[in-house]
């Protein structure tokens, strides 16, 4: 069984450490001194960077090739995305603000329905507060949500996207329907954010490939009407999610989507128990091995309520910030959040701490 690798033993700075004892995650401000290797049915192995060559030499050919590919993925710089007149860089976490145009989303459904001007104003405010991306969605994907006809979804999101695009904002369209993707991109959206990883609609892969736009591939257990529908238990939720995303990256590249325009999201809470979501966040750095920018979307989700006396969605700010910072520590490139002002402030303070550690004299 091929091991799945995760960077461990993070250090504040490589300054003063001997060469060959540390490595860096992509072009981020994160350095580490060890690798965890997990195989199904076995205890995890912990290998120091200094001992990595010897460990690799002891693997079989196919296992060694896979491990070397994963290590290269961890180290590979995450490419800049040029989106219109804006450039999105991933050396530090970027904040994505959530703008729901739905009557029934779990957190803020109904807030902007039927008022595209007010919704666009909310998006403008997110940008002024420091959000790098505004994620506009017209269909709730909470458990038990009713499906939305694509025409209604288009009517909800396009007027908002049109207004935001004129301001120069970077916009992602949160949809799993090809017709909505086409309409949103035509209105000025830059990124497709699909919770089904382009599996729900058979045309969506072609739409994204032809548009040449970046795409966010999220893991959910079902590409059907209910993205939370799980047919069988996870063998290992992290390994299973990793394998799914690895396969979807390969499928996208085969369909003509450039690797440097693919972002991955483990799908916290989608068909996952509290224990599953905790495992994904605790081992989030595993997904760095895929070599793609990583998005974490945990804001106000059930995991926060479950760990805080069933706090309602509107009262989950503290827990959401804790999860966002955990994502930053694992190298997440994008943090998808409801509370932009507070999240941007948290990321800026985290960045200041990293800068101070890096410049410290050994």
Averaged pLDDT, 223-227? 86
At 15-62, the pLDDT tens digits run 889 999 999 999 999 999 999 999 988 899 999 999 999 999 999 999
pLDDT reported for residue 315: 94
Catalytic residue among 176, 301, 316, 354: 301
CB 171 within 8 A of CB 189: yes
Per-residue pLDDT band for 109 (boundaries 50, 70, 90) equals: low
226-253: per-residue pLDDT in tens? 889 887 889 999 999 999 999 999 999 9
Q: How far is CA 95 from the centre of its chain?
A: 11
Interaxial angle between packed helices 317-329 and 274-282, expressed in degrees from 0 to 180 and rounded to the nearest 10: 40
* pLDDT tens column, 300-350: 999 999 999 999 999 999 999 999 999 999 999 999 999 999 999 999 999
Active-site annotation holds for 235 = no
Q: Is 351 a catalytic residue?
A: no
- 171 burial (CB, 10 Å; 0-12 / 13-18 / 19+) is buried
Percent of the chain with pLDDT over 90: 84
Instruction: From the candidates 78, 156, 316, 336, give the one annotated as an active-site residue.
Output: 336
pLDDT tens sequence across 150-160: 999 999 999 99
Domains of the chain (ranges plus CATH)?
Answer: 4-75 (no CATH), 81-358 (3.20.20.20)
* pLDDT at residue 108, rounded to an integer: 60
């Amino acid at each position: 069984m091929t091991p799945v690798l995760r960077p461990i033993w993070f250090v504040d700075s490589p300054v003063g450490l001997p060469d060959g004892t540390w490595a860096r995650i992509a072009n981020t401000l994160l350095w580490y001194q060890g690798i965890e290797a997990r195989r199904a049915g076995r205890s995890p192995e912990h290998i120091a960077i200094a001992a990595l060559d010897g460990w690799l030499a002891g693997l079989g050919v196919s296992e060694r090739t896979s491990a070397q590919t994963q290590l290269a993925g961890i180290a590979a710089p995450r490419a800049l995305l040029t989106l219109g007149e804006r450039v999105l860089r991933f050396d530090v976490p970027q904040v994505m603000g959530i703008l729901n145009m739905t009557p029934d989303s779990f957190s803020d459904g109904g807030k902007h329905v039927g008022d595209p001007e007010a919704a666009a104003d909310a998006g403008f405010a997110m940008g002024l507060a420091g959000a790098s991306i505004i994620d506009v969605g017209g269909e709730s994907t909470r458990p038990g949500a009713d499906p939305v006809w694509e025409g209604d979804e288009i009517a909800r999101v396009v007027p908002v996207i049109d207004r935001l695009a004129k301001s120069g904002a970077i916009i992602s369209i949160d949809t799993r329907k090809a017709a909505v993707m086409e309409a949103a991109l035509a209105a000025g959206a830059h990124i497709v954010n699909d919770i089904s990883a382009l599996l729900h609609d058979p045309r969506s892969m072609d739409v994204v490939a032809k548009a040449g736009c970046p795409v966010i591939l999220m893991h959910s257990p079902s590409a059907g009407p209910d993205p939370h529908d799980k047919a069988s238990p996870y063998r290992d939720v992290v390994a299973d999610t990793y394998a799914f995303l690895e396969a979807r990256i390969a499928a996208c590249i085969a369909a003509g989507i450039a690797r440097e325009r693919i972002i991955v999201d483990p799908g916290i809470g989608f068909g996952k128990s509290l224990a599953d979501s905790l495992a994904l966040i605790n081992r989030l750095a595993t997904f760095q091995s895929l070599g793609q920018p990583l998005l974490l979307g945990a804001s106000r989700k059930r995991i926060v309520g479950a760990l805080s006396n069933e706090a309602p969605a509107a009262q989950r700010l503290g827990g959401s910030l804790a999860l966002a910072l955990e994502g930053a520590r694992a190298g997440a490139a994008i943090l998808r959040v409801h509370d932009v002002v507070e999240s941007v402030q948290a990321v800026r303070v985290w960045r200041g701490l990293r800068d101070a550690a890096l410049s410290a004299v050994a």
